[in-house]
Chain A
Amino acid sequence: DQQVKQNSPSLSVQEGRISILNCDYTNSMFDYFLWYKKYPAEGPTFLISISSIKDKNEDGRFTVFLNKSAKHLSLHIVPSQPGDSAVYFCAASYSGTYKYIFGTGTRLKVLA
């Protein structure tokens, strides 16, 4: 049972345009969501997070949107840069648990 889903395995975007990565979840208890970026042969690095009490969080070129009614979050990267090419994982957690549930990842390729 995949509680966190990233339905697009890959995405290609031109440099300078917007990249939109999507994530859906099924467990309504999730109240904290994170995005990680992973380069080949490296560990994931934290990118941005959002609490369920918010619907938007912004950090520089990265913005995460949360739609609780649709159980959907998205990561917007604008403008996209070639260095953003990586695999992006969304993850979810809820209060009182130690566990983080990860999606299957989306490979983003930003074309120069």
Chain B
Amino acid sequence: DVKVTQSSRYLVKRTGEKVFLECVQDMDHENMFWYRQDPGLGLRLIYFSYDVKMKEKGDIPEGYSVSREKKERFSLILESASTNQTSMYLCASSREQGPSEEKLFFGSGTQLSVL
């Protein structure tokens, strides 16, 4: 089974802090994603990466950056945390999308609170 591991289940940070959320997958997947989940808004894509050192903005990239130095690891960085970034953050991975359909595998999530 694919395992997507997020380093923290819960995090509490102060406004203005730099925050790193780490994600590791163990199935050699090409694609990795960061979503945030907020009540009434569903899952919204922040950034995704389709290869090492490659990244693309999702629907809500403002205030975030990402890093993918190794295939198995995808980091989400909040440069200067703000209270509106309090949310559940979900990392996911998938195989390279081709003619066949692929599904996303999610980590357990990191509940981030910015005070």
Contacts and interface: CB of A to CB of B under 8 A. Distances in A.
A101 B59 CA distance: 10
Nearest to A46: B103
B11 to A, nearest CB: 13
A41 B41 CA distance: 16
Contacts of B92: 43
A44 B42 contact: no
A79 interface: no
Interface of A: 6, 9, 32, 34, 36, 41-46, 49, 51, 89, 91, 93, 95-105
Q: How large is the interface on B (under 10, 10 to 19, 20 to 34, 35 or more residues)?
A: 20 to 34
B58 A99 contact: yes
Interface of B: 4, 9, 31, 33, 35, 40-45, 48, 50, 56, 58, 90, 92, 94, 97, 99, 101, 103-109, 111
Interface SS majority for chain A: loop
A42 B42 contact: no
A7 to B, nearest CB: 12
B44 to A, nearest CB: 8
26 contacts: A6-B42, A32-B101, A34-B104, A36-B104, A41-B109, A42-B109, A43-B4, A43-B106, A43-B107, A43-B108, A43-B109, A44-B106, A45-B106, A46-B104, A89-B42, A89-B43, A93-B97, A95-B99, A96-B97, A97-B97, A98-B50, A99-B45, A99-B48, A102-B35, A102-B43, A104-B40
A51 B48 CA distance: 23
B42 A98 contact: no
